[in-house]
Amino acid sequence: FFIVHVCGAVLTFGMGSLYMFVQTILSYQMQPKIHGKQVFWIRLLVVIWCGVSAFSMLTCSSLLYSGNFGTDIVQKLHWNPEDRGYVLHMITTAAEWSMSFSFFGFFLTYIRDFQKISLRVEANLHGLTLYDTAPCPVNNERTRLLSRDL
Inter-axis angle of helices 15-30 and 37-64, nearest 10: 160
Q: How confident is the model at residue 140 (pLDDT cuts 50, 70, 90)?
A: low
Long-range contacts at 108-114 (CB < 8 A, ≥ 24 apart): 109/39, 109/42, 109/43, 109/46, 112/35, 112/39, 113/34, 113/35, 113/39
pLDDT above 80: residue 127 = no
Count of CA atoms in the C-beta half-sphere (13 A) of 104: 6
- Provide mean pLDDT across the span 89-101: 94
- Among the residue ranges 35-49, 58-72, 90-104, the one predicted with the least confidence is 58-72
On whether the pTM is more than 0.85, the answer is: no
pLDDT of residue 5: 81
Looking at residue 123, its pLDDT comes to: 80
pLDDT at 40 over 70: yes
User: For residue range 53-87, what is the model confidence (pLDDT) as tens digits?
Assistant: 999 999 998 888 887 766 566 666 778 888 888 88
Give the pLDDT of residue 24: 95
20, pLDDT greater than 90: yes
